[in-house]
Amino acid sequence: MNIKWVAFLGFCAVAASSSCCEEDSDFSFPENPRVTSPSGTFVGSLFTSRRGRNIYSFRGIRYAKPPVGALRFRAPVAINNYPQPVDAREDGPACPQSGNYFNTSEDCLFLNVYTPRLPPSPKAELLPVLFHMHPGGFYSLTGQSIISGPQYLLDHDIVLVTINYRLATLGLLATGDENAPGNNAFKDQVVALQWVQRNIRAFGGNPCSVTICGYSAGAVSVGLHMLSPMSKGLFHRAIMMSGSPTAQWVVPPHQRDLAKKQAELVGCPTDSISAIVDCLRTTPWQELGDSDDGFAVFGWDPVLRWKPVVEPDLGQPRFLPATPEELISKGHIHDVPLMLGVNQLEFIIIAYLVLSNDTLREEMDRDWTRIAPISFLLDLPKQRAIDASLELYQDYIGDRPFTYNNDTASALGRLYGDGLVALGVHKFSWLMSEHLSSPIYYYKFNYTGTYSFATYPGTTTPIGATHHDELIYLFYIPADFPLIDLDSPDSDMVDKMTTMWTNFVIGGDPNSAGNQPALKGLCWPKLEPKTRKYLLINQRDFEVGSHMDEDRFAIWERLFSLNL
């Protein structure tokens, strides 16, 4: 496994309402479709869907000015006008990150638009829009077509938008003052959503029907957009897959410790915040990207290094003016339909990687109370973190030998999965069920297919339904897997997943909308505070459960005073 894989208001907001006006659109066929929006003209290319449908692809559209030079560590500056036709036939580069997986550049604020049809006239029926934010822990991956290909979802009548946003130091440096207030990665996402409001009608998309969707770090982003004043009116439904901004980890007012660490990694002075930022502002972006792995403390941990922050009030628009819990308690929530869920085994791959490595296994076993707070994001004072580490060990590992075996790996994997994902999603689902009037749909994905992002070490055999795996059935991911064709044993799951997800995008309800054989037997209930029902997506069928894994979360609620 590549460890890189390790948020409808009644009306559109006033700021967005002008984008719902009729606009002209002209284009040409077939190989290079041409679209003209209020911002400019875009020349695209053709893709073909899994079932042979034409997809009009517009890739590598720069939505904000290059965040370089004086704009590094600054809020994004939107591009509202393109004087010349934009060549949108290829993906833009990914944002800087370690490894040689993608073509990268600091000039990386690009988005892709995919549509199954273009409007022949201003009166054409517009399609709902799915706006997807990629995973990657806020320090890796991209929205490029090799990671988030449209070939599965675009067999349905939606428009898909995928984006890049700045990562790691370049996107989330937060010093708690005017040097770097923070949250620029999320502000990138806001500017991309504003671009959609201005331009998506020309691509056949409905700016008044936008669903934001994200996985892992992208899901944390979605949850934050549901709370941020900057995102008001920019979306109308939300999908959160395996990630949440409410968990046992704290949303801090700054991350000066990471700023200092970054400075040390690239040889910058650390005697003052100003000195750190001034030096980092002129450090080559390649050095910043290549240094990302230096933030790991134990193996690949912590998986979540860069976090959103509560921004200081310096007169700037603040993406997050208070903690998520404070905003929720005050009712500062965008009340939209929500779908969210987790995978059966989530981060079990890290447990296998640790236990199969003699050095890591022995270090974790020997120094558990130092490593556990790092690996499982135990944001507590030192002695409480030590005590919590010991209690979690006893609750999850118990008397199992700390050796490389499937039983211990399963136990340690549950601890990783709960600490990194499931507890936070549980907490967010609970809080939203108490505060939203809009419907909520909760799920657990438990399908093991031919391919997986997590295989037993040294084999190609999937461990089970692990972190990122449902993406395999929603997006074509040629960087890692072949196309799932119609004869594949996994074809039915592609049909199930894309139909449920696009039903939600279209109508705010994932249940069957008429004659949809893929969803035979589906009866997905809404999540209610008392019954806590959810959908289990199994190997061959659907099953309704209640109170998902809440017995396991009881210890976390006690240790972290979650009061759920």
Beta bridge partners of 94: 104
Residue with tokens 């894989």: 5
| Count of CB atoms situated within 10 Å of the CB of 22 | 9
d(CA 335, CA 223): 12
In tens, the pLDDT along 523-552 reads 999 999 999 999 999 999 999 999 999 999
Q: What is the pLDDT of residues 484-515, one digit of tens each?
A: 999 999 999 999 999 999 999 999 999 998 89
Rama region for 432: left / alpha / beta (φ>0; ψ in -120 to 50; rest): alpha
Domains of the chain: residue spans and CATH: 3-335 (3.40.50.1820), 342-559 (3.40.50.1820)
Q: What is the DSSP string of 110-164?
A: EEEEEES---SSTTSPPEEEEEEE--STTTS---STTTSBSTTGGGSS-EEEEE-
- Residue 10: what pLDDT? 32
**Under 8 Å between Cβ of 171 and 95:** yes
In this prediction, residue 30 carries a pLDDT of 60
Cα gap 500→518, rounded to integer Å: 9
Could you tell me which residues come within 8 angstroms of residue 297 by beta carbon, excluding any fewer than 6 positions away? 374
What is each CA distance from 446 to 152, 380, 416, in whole angstroms? 20, 32, 17
Give me the sheet containing 159-163, strands edge to edge.
45-48, 54-62, 110-115, 159-163, 127-133, 205-215, 237-241, 338-343, 440-445, 533-537, 542-546
- Cα–Cα nearest to 446, from 535, 531, 371: 535
Assign 3 to helix, strand or coil.
helix
* 59-112 tens-digit pLDDT: 999 999 999 999 999 999 999 999 999 999 999 999 999 988 899 999 999 999
Q: Are 200 and 206 in contact (CB under 8 A)?
A: yes
Strand partners, 114: 57, 160
Residue 47 gets which letter from DSSP? E
Instruction: Say whether pLDDT at 482 is over 80.
Output: yes
Average pLDDT estimate for 180-190:
98
C-alpha distances in Å from residue 127, one per residue of 8, 55, 156, 353, 439: 15, 14, 10, 43, 22
Q: CB–CB of 532/525 below 8 Å? A: no
123 pLDDT band, cuts 50/70/90, is confident
CB atoms closer than 10 angstroms to residue 370: 15
pLDDT at 564: 56
- The SS3 of residue 42 is strand
Q: Name the phi and psi angles at 329, rounded to 5.
A: -65, -30
Nearest-angstrom CA–CA distance, 488 and 5: 24
Read off the pLDDT of residues 265-313 as tens digits, 9 standing for 90 and up. 999 999 999 999 999 999 999 999 999 999 999 999 999 999 999 999 9
Q: Do residues 456 and 406 make contact, with C-beta atoms less than 8 angstroms apart?
A: no
Positions marked catalytic = 216, 346, 467
CA distance 340 to 223: 10
Largest Cα–Cα distance in the chain? 69
Report the alpha-carbon distance of residue 221 to residue 292 in Å, rounded.
20
The fraction of the chain above a pLDDT of 90, given in percent, is: 91
Q: What is the pLDDT of residue 544?
A: 98
Kindly report, residue by residue over 25-48, the tens digit of the pLDDT: 444 446 799 999 999 999 999 999
Torsion angle, CA of 147/151/154/160, rounded to 10 degrees?
20
- Helix axes 382-392 and 550-559, enclosed angle (nearest 10): 160
Check: CB of residue 497 under 8 Å from CB of residue 470: yes
What was the pLDDT predicted at 31? Answer: 79
Q: Report, as an integer, the average pLDDT of 383-390.
A: 97
Q: Nearest-CA neighbor of 78 among 111, 45, 126?
A: 111
Mean pLDDT over the full length of the chain: 93
As a whole number of angstroms, the distance between CA 549 and CA 45 comes to: 46
Above 70 in pLDDT, residue 150?
yes
> Alpha helices of 72-180 — where are they, by DSSP H?
168-172
Q: What share of the chain is helix, strand, coil (3-state, %, to 5)?
A: 35, 15, 50
Q: Can you tell me the distance from the alpha carbon of 319 to that of 314, in angstroms, rounded to the nearest whole number?
A: 12
* Residues 361-372: tens digit of each pLDDT: 999 999 999 999
Task: Provide the 8-state DSSP code for 518.
Answer: G
pLDDT (average), residues 426-438: 97
| Closest among 396, 392, 432, 400 to 411, alpha carbons compared | 396
Which two tokens mark 83?
């004087």
Closest to 36 in 3D by CA, of 85, 1, 74: 85
Picking from 229, 164, 186, 191, the residue whose alpha carbon sits closest to that of residue 78 is 191
The DSSP output letter for 397 is I
- Cβ contact 98:292 at 8 Å: yes
Q: Is the peptide bond before 482 cis (omega within 30 degrees of 0)?
A: no
